Amino acid sequence: MTTARVLNIRASGSVEKAAALLKQGGLVAFPTETVYGLGADALNTKAVCRIFEAKKRPAFDPLIVHVGFPETAFGLWKKTPKVARELIRAFWPGPLTLVLLKSPVIPDVVTSGLPTVAVRMPGHPAALRLLRAFGGPLAAPSANLFGYTSATSAQAVLEDLGDAVDLVLDGGHTRIGVESTVLKVEAQKGILLRPGGTPAEAIEKFLPVLKSPESAVLPEAPGMMKSHYAPRTPLCLMEKPLPDFMRELKTLRQAYRRRGLQWPRIGILTLRGIPESEATAVQVLSRRGDLTEAASRLFQAIRKLDKMDLDLIIAEPVSESGIGAAVMDRLRKAQGGKPALDELRGRLK
Ligand code: TXA
Ligand code: MG
């Protein structure tokens, strides 16, 4: 059992209590519009170190700093170029994190020694109230164990972090459900370090966006590790369109039966649903095929399947337009290895 305190973020005095804890160097998990964040005073090195310990996060993965006002961000960067100010005017508060050269006030532990710092102003009224009551910047990565599926509810935060956090502010399920877009701003272009809640298409109205940082040489973006957001159950992607995939799954199941092999316990993560099933469990992300709704349910659905003692989770790819790019990024990084049919055929041998 966890002894971490949970307070409803709407209960009177809860935000003030959280702010007081943060001032003493405490760790407070709080909801944002994307996912829950694990917050600490960004200017207090000791408090920031506790974030890394609680998440079991390697020290080389830098944190995002959250601010209650754009002006606070201007003080954390060495310089705020005109285009960054335009992006801030268009997208803040909201799910866009900007990476720029840092001012010396930011401790090195926050940025893992990088010369840049990532900052965002969250678009969640209670998160903003917390930031303003605290009165300074808060370092806050997603409130999950390092490498695991992000937390979109207070319950998920407690499952992962339990006693390691001093207080959880419960604001219900988060609205967007995938993390912010992380954009490095350079003189003539933006570099998309992580697709997220703000579609790259919208950012491109302001500056050209380089979209495949993995192919570029970017030693300064260590957070783009290949495996991330992964459930404990191996996750595979469907390598064929849903109807073909389901047909092949059926054929494979017959082959397993012929050989007297046990058909694995499969969980299917699908956008609109599946007609009939060779699976033990199915999670539907959006019956109407809406990618925004799908994103909001993604991590919760993965966590649900991960609790069902399955052998395999098989996810259906979604279109990579708009927020679909963020969903696909998370699914690719969550996958354990081979595509699904390959994996199942491999088990036949
Ligand atoms: O929506 C979000 O962004 C959530 C909520 C809580 O705000 N936060 C979040 O933080 O997702 P985290 O720590 O889980 O992811 C931050 C990502 C990491 O991939 C990290 O490597 C990258 O941002 N990052 C942070 N600072 C950076 C920097 N200076 N340069 C390059 N990448 C950076
Ligand atoms: Mg994270």
**Tens of pLDDT, residues 126-171:** 999 999 999 999 999 999 999 999 999 999 999 999 999 999 999 9
Q: Is 220 in the pocket of ligand 1 (CB under 6 A)?
A: yes
Give the β-pairing of 36-41 and 138-139.
Answer: antiparallel
**pLDDT for 76:** 98
Q: Write b or e for each residue in 11-32: b if 16 or more Cβ atoms lie within 10 A of its Cβ, otherwise e.
A: eeebbebbbebbeebbbbbbbb
Q: How far is CA 203 from the centre of its chain?
A: 19
Q: What is the pLDDT of residue 235?
A: 97
CA dihedral (136, 141, 144, 145) in degrees, to 10, reads -120
Percent helix, strand and coil across the chain, each rounded to 5?
35, 20, 45
Q: Is the dihedral of CA 294, 300, 303, 307 positive or negative?
A: negative
User: What SS3 state is found at 148?
Assistant: coil
Collect the ranges in the chain with pLDDT lower than 50.
Answer: 1-2, 215-223
Distance CA 106, CA 116 (A): 10
Atom of ligand 1 nearest to the CA of 222: 21
Q: Hey, is 249 helix, strand or coil? A: helix
pTM confidence score: 0.94
- The pLDDT of residue 275 is 77
Is any ligand 1 atom within 6 A of the Cβ of residue 116? yes
Kindly give the distance from the C-alpha atom of residue 195 to the centroid of ligand 2, in angstroms, as a whole number: 13
Q: Is the CB of 140 within 6 Å of ligand 1?
A: yes
Q: How far apart are CA 28 and CA 19, in angstroms?
A: 9
* Ligand 1 nearest atom to the CA of residue 150, by list position: 14
Number of H helices, E strands in the chain: 12, 15
What does DSSP assign to residue 260? T
- Pocket of ligand 1 contains residue 141 by CB under 6 Å: yes
Q: Is 323 in the pocket of ligand 1 (CB under 6 A)?
A: no
**What per-residue confidence (pLDDT) applies to 276?**
72
CA distance 63 to 42: 9
What residues sit around ligand 2, an ion, with C-beta below 5 angstroms? 142
Would you call 164 helix, strand, or coil by DSSP? helix
Taking the CA of residue 66 as reference, the ligand 1 atom at the shortest distance is: 7
Query: What's the 146 CA to ligand 2 centre distance in angstroms?
Result: 7
Q: Report pLDDT for 122.
A: 98
The pairing of beta strand 138-139 with beta strand 64-66: antiparallel
Report which protein residue has its CA nearest ligand 1's atom 31: 221
* DSSP-based three-state secondary structure for 66: strand
The answer, yes or no, to whether any atom of ligand 1 lies below 6 A from the CB of 80, is: no
